[in-house]
Amino acid sequence: MLLLRFDITYTALARKRGDRKMHPLGVSYGRKGSCGQCVWARNAGPGPKVLRCVAANNQRIQKEWKSCIYFEDRLDCLDCGACCGPAFDVVEVSQRDPVRKLQPDWIAKTDGRFHVLRKKSNHCAALQEDNKCVIYKDRPRCCRDFTKGSANCIFARRRVGLSNHWK
C-alpha cells in the first residue's frame, strides 16, 4: 500500500540551498512542536534504528527539527474511530477466529466468507456512539493486530479526513 510519495529532487534541493521556508522533508513548517514530539516519529530501520517519520514514508528526521504542517501531538482511539468507520468497507473474520464462537451475533457470512456486521453508515456494528467497541475483549484478529499510529492507522485517518495527505 502506497501511503504517499515525496518529490525527492525538490527535498534535496531545498536542503542544499538551505531553504528556511520549507521543512527538510520538503513541506511547509508547522505552528507548534518539533519532529521529536510528533506522534509519527519512530525509531526504525532499515539498518541501525534512527528517528524516522512514519507519515512521511519513513524518511529520516531529527528530533530537534521544527515540526512540519502535518504535526500531530497525540492519537486517541476514542476520539478517532477511523479504523472502525467508513475507512474500511469490511472486516473479514477467518473460520478459526475465536470471535465467531464468542460473539456470534456480530458475525455474518456472505458468499462463503465471515465478516463483522456493518451499520447503514458503514461503521462497524460493534462500535458505540462513544467509539468504544462492544466486543473489544473478543474482537477479531485483524482488529487486535491494528495498532495505533501504524501505517494502517494513518491510512484510515486519511480516508476519513482526520489526518492530512502529504502533497
Domain residues for the domain of 44 are: 8-68
Mean pLDDT to the nearest integer, 90-115: 95
Residues 62 and 89 in one domain: no
Query: What is the value of pTM for the model shown?
Result: 0.70
Residues 154 and 94 in one domain: yes
Residues 60 and 105 in one domain: no
Kindly state whether residue 166 falls inside one of the protein's structural domains: no
DSSP 3-state of 115: strand
Mean pLDDT to the nearest integer, 129-156: 91
Residue 100 has pLDDT above 80, yes or no: yes
Residues 64 and 85 in one domain: no
Residues 98 and 63 in one domain: no
Residue 12 has pLDDT above 60, yes or no: no
Show the cell assigned to 161.
Answer: 479526513
Last residue of a domain, one of 68, 93, 117: 68
Show the cell assigned to 36.
Answer: 521529536
Percent of the chain with pLDDT over 90: 54
Percent of the chain with pLDDT over 70: 87
Asked if residue 124 lies in contact with residue 106, where contact means CB atoms within 8 angstroms, the answer is no
Comparing C-alpha atoms, which of 77, 92, 87, 74 is closest to residue 132?
77
Question: 52 — phi, psi (to 5°)?
Answer: -135, 155
* Distance in angstroms (rounded) separating the CA atoms of residues 155 and 148: 11
pLDDT band for 7, please (50, 70, 90 cuts). Answer: very low
